[in-house]
Amino acid sequence: MPRPKEGKSRDGAPMHYSVGALIEMGGRYLLIDRANFPFGFAGVAGHIDEGENEIQALKREVEEESGLKVERFRLIFEEPIFHDRCSRGITGHYWYLFECSVSGELKQDESEAKSIGWYSKEKIQNLKLEPAWEHWFKKLNIIE
């Protein structure tokens, strides 16, 4: 198992680096119902591994979790989020959120997702979102 890249936040606490992929097609967003902690609906996301940069991690995570290939991407947010504890017990994550266009055929990774699918803004409004994604969907005015 590759190890997540680790750093330190300003107060000296260990921190992970993570990438998220905001993937929209025809007004709907690709979301996973996460099978692992932290639970909730979320976009494709994951840790940046040691020896990897954020773009390599983005392409790998999208491929692993959705079977899709990233065709184009644009960084939309880069920010630390605290209090988003991961399964490895680290609460601080430095996030890179990319907007992506993709190609290929959607497939579900059963180890990561209870389901995967496309959701309209109206549907997302009523989903229980994973905290980081709730934060971004609000920041992007996709939900209220």
16 binds Zn ion (CB under 5 A): yes
Smallest distance, Zn ion to C-beta of residue 46, A: 9
Among 32, 57, 68, 90, binds Zn ion (CB under 5 A): 90
* Window 36-75: residues binding Zn ion (CB under 5 A): none
Determine which helix (DSSP H) or strand (DSSP E) holds 98, and give its type and residue range.
Answer: strand 92-103
Cis geometry, peptide bond prior to residue 38 (ω within 30 degrees of 0): yes
- Name the one range near Zn ion by CB under 5 A: 36-44, 50-58, 82-90, 113-121: 82-90
- Name the one range near Zn ion by CB under 5 A: 13-21, 31-39, 102-110, 116-124: 13-21
The count of residues interacting with Zn ion (CB under 5 A) is 3
Q: Measured in whole angstroms, how far is the alpha carbon of residue 110 from the centre of its chain?
A: 16
| In contact, 82 and 92? CB cutoff 8 Å | yes
- Name the one range near Zn ion by CB under 5 A: 14-22, 29-37, 109-117, 129-137: 14-22
Smallest distance, Zn ion to C-beta of residue 20, A: 13
**Which residues, at least 6 apart from 38, have a Cβ–Cβ distance to it below 8 Å?**
84, 85, 86, 87, 130, 131, 132
Smallest distance, Zn ion to C-beta of residue 11, A: 17
Nearer to Zn ion, 16 or 59 (CB): 16
Smallest distance, Zn ion to C-beta of residue 125, A: 28
Q: The tokens of 10 are what?
A: 């300003």
CA 126 vs CA 6, 59, 123: distances in Å? 34, 29, 6
Q: The tokens of 99 are what?
A: 């907007």
Name the site residues for Zn ion (rule: CB under 5 A).
16, 86, 90
